[in-house]
Chain A
């Protein structure tokens, strides 16, 4: 198994007025292909910032992000969008579904961007929705669904185009504990099936239990990085 994501000396500094906020402070780590990697930390520690940077939605202030051999930080918007289209799936805390179209069309959307024909992509989308247990809801619009169902649509959409990497930012943040378990199991199962890499951002320690590896962030620093009970290396120790 090769390295999927390689982050080197990643720094992100926000300027708010004259003040500087260091959101990410010199992060360096690799993620293997097929790994389910949890990024754990309290609110405001920089988890989302890291994820957005990895997905090319924001540019780092300094440092390198190499995914599948390509430098994300050097790409312009057109290239990075193309990159996401081909390699990346997304799951959001607030689902971010399109509410004017059906569940089926939502799931088929990443395939549409890739130029897959309507018939084929709707078939794939249907199978994906069936896999997440929404076969009977394919023609429903997201507005007619519960939060758990919407997130399952979100998961189906993220995996529909079989991306190499799926980013999930607090995917269970809006769900109750029972639904959280359902959704987490579903995501992990989906990932395992095609040996996809999952970067899972959460503030919930229980969620981290589903991951192969947990990177803890605190105030922009990595404070620990452990594989299922095995500590890989300690980046920094807070004094």
Chain B
């Protein structure tokens, strides 16, 4: 008997009992679409959440701290030095390691000013490995990265450096304040429209300052004063580029990136100029290190290794994983509910098939007497059950695509409204990727086949003789 004939026979038997087939298929349809919709909600929630986190967080970055404590083996936690950083870099899946040293604030301990008489304010001076920036994944808004071999006065600006500047040459007013200028901001998009300075066009200098204890403000009068000892440390900065800022790494927006070796000299100069206000010398120990991992799925593993070494870590990914686990639990619960309906559908199929076999006992007997292979009879009934599963699965996919559309277009906006978000942004809380649809179809067919096993077995056991002599 040919496969095609078996399929034809299956379909004929199914279409002969239209109502019964429709009802049985409906059961599978409901079960399948329940599973698809429930899973799609989980997938959609996960995607929305990842998208949301990605907007303000960097999911492949880990921040490492050393608060002391113990390693897993109970040993002393090693201070994070250049050597330890090399160890970090040797960890699997780590692509780059970057110490971040942010003790100095431009506008407080030091001044960065241009020849137009404008000095930067609220700007952290970020000591990093300048030659590692590109490898770490920093993006440029303009200009280029520092080339190896360039002097350590080569710097990059954060994207919004110079948003606010003081006009130090004008002197202070009667209340002790400098005049200031700031950039215009578009308050809808939060974009800066124009800067009071030209990042790469202006001529920039750096100089350590001294606190004026009368005003509790740093004293800018040392700039260009030939007698001030500060002028010995006055150096020109070479701004070669502007970093594409991201609020997930605040310094990329507000900071000036400079080689860590330069900061070391700066601390010494500052301490010399401020005998009453000493800063801790840089002793080669970093308190904050950022690690870049090749893929967000490897972040947890790298974090675990770092924790085993005794360090504290933070990553946006960790939070994402936590949220993800919660979503997965919800998803599993929903899928379990859906599975119940699929189980009912399976019993329904078994019942239908047993009825079909009882009705067709004589027919089966005749077929056996006429030489229909026993195995083919089994396949025929399994095929019928699988076909019910397949039809239910396909119908279930179609129904769930419709439900998903409704959820996203009507409930989605309602949901966003409740969350207080702008209704304008499209949010898809139900996502049906092709693999989900195919998986559901596979499950539906498998349910059909499993539900058909017992009836098919019974059909095989029917005695040909008893069946044909049975009136």
Which residues of A pack against B, CB within 8 Å?
Answer: 52, 55, 57-58, 77-78, 81-82, 84-86, 88, 90, 92, 94, 96-98, 100-101, 109-110, 112-115, 117-118, 157
Contacts and interface: CB of A to CB of B under 8 A. Distances in A.
A94 B471 contact: yes
A86 B465 contact: no
Contacts of B374: 77-78, 81
Contact of B371 (A58, A84, A97, A118): A84
A161 to B, nearest CB: 8
5 contacts: A81-B368, A90-B369, A90-B370, A115-B1, A118-B5
B2 interface: yes
A58 B369 contact: no
A112 B374 CA distance: 14
B39 to A, nearest CB: 40
A92 B468 contact: yes
B471 A81 contact: no
A128 to B, nearest CB: 14
**Majority secondary structure of chain B interface residues (helix, strand, loop or mixed):** helix
Contact of A81 (B12, B363, B373): B373
Contacts of B368: 81
B375 interface: yes
B468 A110 contact: no
Given A98-B366, A100-B16, A85 B373 contact: yes
Interface in B1-44: 1-2, 4-5, 12, 16
Category for how many chain B residues contact A: 20 to 34
Given A113-B370, A113-B372, A98 B2 contact: no
Contacts of B371: 81-82, 84-86, 88, 110, 113-114
Contacts of A78: 373-375
Contacts of B372: 81, 85, 113
B155 interface: no
Nearest to A97: B366
Given A78-B375, A96-B369, 6 more contacts: A81-B374, A85-B372, A109-B367, A112-B1, A112-B2, A118-B4
Interface of B: 1-2, 4-5, 12, 16, 362-363, 366-376, 464-465, 468, 471
A79 to B, nearest CB: 10
A100 B362 CA distance: 12
A90 to B, nearest CB: 6
A52 B366 contact: no
Contacts of A57: 369, 464-465
What are the nearest 4 A-B pairs in CB distance?
Answer: A85-B371, A84-B371, A57-B465, A113-B372
Nearest to A85: B371
B465 A82 contact: no
Contacts of A88: 371
A109 to B, nearest CB: 6
Contacts of B367: 109, 113
Nearest to B468: A96
Contacts of B370: 84-85, 90, 109-110, 113, 157
B223 to A, nearest CB: 99
B2 A55 contact: no
A91 B379 CA distance: 27
B414 to A, nearest CB: 52
A57 B2 CA distance: 24
Contacts of A97: 366
B373 A84 contact: no
Nearest to A96: B366
A55 B369 contact: yes
Contacts of A109: 367, 370
A229 B374 CA distance: 43
